[in-house]
Amino acid sequence: MASTDNLNQLEPTFMYTQIFKDILLDMEHDELAIKDFITYCRDHNCLSPVYIDRFEKQYHAQLAIWWYSFPSNIYSMLNYSLRTMDADIIITMGFFLRDLHQQIEQLYQQQDGSCERKSFVVYRGQGLMKLDFEKLEKTKGGLISFNNFLSTSKNKEVSLDFAECASTKLDTLGIIFIMSIDPCIKSTPFASIKEESYFKDEDEILFSMHTVFRVNEIKQMENKTQVYEVELQLTSDDDQQLRVLTDRIREEAGGGTGWQRLGNLLIRIGQSIKAEELFNVLLEQTSDESERAHYYRQLGNLKIDQGDYEKAIWYNEKTLEVQQKTRLPNHLSLATSYNNIAGVYDQMGEYSKALSYYEKALEIEQKILPLNHPDLVTSYNNI
């Protein structure tokens, strides 16, 4: 759960979960994706062998909600990865995330997701650490985002039971979210999953990931000192604050493939560990040489920021190695790599090695750039 009452003080998760969502929902997944997930589960003991075999034999896209609700640990895996931004698990479960979102979207349309339906209220009971509750109190009037798939109920008593149970834990308050839903709002699909769920007797409304609400009232429940009610309102697509946020997200993401944009954004918002994790996972999975060069270069940049210059040199040399196989000898990207390596040697104080690489970069630039190009000026200054 991420929140903000000021767009200049955004929590990183509020931004990059939206990018994860956009990327994963746009990606196509084949049968190999399911096989990769099965292998991952076996290697990491994520599910019992019986459930893994059953999933392998029976799973298809129209069973996504059933498997999400089935007590097999898939629910926990998916939502844990979305809350913690675990790139490895999210990439592995990308096909399931997409199937689940699309099934919710289909049900939303079938259940008449239109303005003809009346507004309604759903509830969610959970625990919240006292420190997190203090942050929540400060967001009154601002936005709150549930970055995972969001299970809610039309039955307030059921949600209250969850909240009261959670409030018995150390340093934890029970929270019952009271969510006002206007069917005219199309920001995130939601649906009753009673017929599709493993639990047929539960009246559950399931929202897709990254549902954004505006925080209204927060008040303590009568005669319940450890339980609070938090009133939320589903935000509309034309919510001014949300639109500014979304525009900023897209601007931060930059160009390139979806995964490259995500990695770039993680770096921009200071999540270098997550970026490094993502690039390493993608590096193992891709066979595209231009993508490999990009990931090596970004890993090299991260190592420079971390002060690990030896590793930075290694990654930049790997970038150069790929480029030398796939580019013409005088391609400008090679000059960029030579300059990057030279810059690292410069920071290490190994000036003779730095000079050697600066000269290689300059040799290429002199052949392809106009005499007044700023890159040439920079190279002359470096030498």
- pLDDT, position 17: 61
- pLDDT, position 7: 35
Residue 302 predicted with pLDDT over 90? yes
Residue 26 predicted with pLDDT over 50? yes
pLDDT digits (tens, 9 = 90+) for 217-233: 999 998 888 999 999 99
Q: In what order do the strands lie in the sheet with 150-153?
A: 2-4, 143-146, 211-220, 227-234, 172-181, 120-129, 150-153, 204-207, 190-192
Residue 211 predicted with pLDDT over 70? yes
- pLDDT, position 230: 96
- pLDDT, position 8: 36
Q: Which two tokens stand for residue 320?
A: 């150069």
Which residues does residue 227 pair with via DSSP β-bridges, in sequence order? 174
> What would the mean pLDDT of 92-106 be, rounded to a whole number?
93
The answer to whether domain 114-236 has CATH 3.30.565.10 is no
Exposed e or buried b per residue across 49-86, where buried means at least 16 C-beta atoms within 10 angstroms of its C-beta: eebbeebeeebeeeebbbbbbbebebbebbbebbeebb
> What would the mean pLDDT of 35-58 be, rounded to a whole number?
95
The answer to whether domain 247-382 has CATH 1.25.40.10 is yes
pLDDT digits (tens, 9 = 90+) for 307-356: 999 999 999 999 999 988 888 777 888 888 888 998 899 999 998 998 88
- List CB contacts of 57: < 8 A, sequence separation 6 or more: none
Portions of the chain given CATH number 3.90.176.10: 114-236
Residue type at position 120: F
Q: Could you tell me if residue 129 is left (phi over 0), alpha (psi between -120 and 50 degrees) or otherwise beta?
A: beta
Look at 122 and 277; give whichever has higher pLDDT.
Answer: 122
- pLDDT, position 65: 97
When the pLDDT of each residue in the chain is averaged and rounded to a whole number, the result is 85
Residue 367 predicted with pLDDT over 70? yes
> What would the mean pLDDT of 188-196 be, rounded to a whole number?
92
- pLDDT, position 210: 84
SS (H, E, C) the chain: CEEECCHHHCCHHHHHHHHHHHHHHHCCCCHHHHHHHHHHHHHHCCCCHHHHHHHHHHCCHHHHHHHHHCCCCHHHHHHHHHHHCCHHHHHHCHHHHHHHHHHHHHHHHHCCCCCCCCCEEEEEEEEEEHHHHHHHHHCCCCEEEECCCEEEECCHHHHHHHHHHHCCCCCEEEEEEEEEECCCCCCCCEEECCCCCCCCCCCEEEECCCEEEEEEEEEECCCCCCEEEEEEEECCCCCHHHHHHHHHHHHHHCCCCHHHHHHHHHHHCCCHHHHHHHHHHHHHHCCCHHHHHHHHHHHHHHHHHHCCHHHHHHHHHHHHHHHHHHCCCCCHHHHHHHHHHHHHHHHHCCHHHHHHHHHHHHHHHHHHCCCCCHHHHHHHHHC
Q: Report the candidate in 220, 229, 224 with the shortest Cα–Cα distance to residue 179.
A: 229
Give the least confident one: 44-53, 68-77, 177-186, 329-338: 329-338
Look at 7 and 171; give whichever has higher pLDDT.
Answer: 171
In the chain, what percentage of residues exceed pLDDT 70?
86
Portions of the chain given CATH number 1.25.40.10: 247-382
Residue 363 predicted with pLDDT over 90? no
Q: 271 pLDDT band (50/70/90 cuts)?
A: confident
Q: 15 pLDDT band (50/70/90 cuts)?
A: low
pLDDT digits (tens, 9 = 90+) for 112-136: 755 557 889 999 999 999 999 999 9
Location of structure tokens 């599709």: 196
Q: Which two tokens stand for residue 52?
A: 């893994």
Q: Report the candidate in 113, 81, 108 with the shortest Cα–Cα distance to residue 97.
A: 81
- Whether the pTM exceeds 0.75: the reply is no
Q: 9 pLDDT band (50/70/90 cuts)?
A: very low
Residue type at position 203: D
In the chain, what percentage of residues exceed pLDDT 90?
47
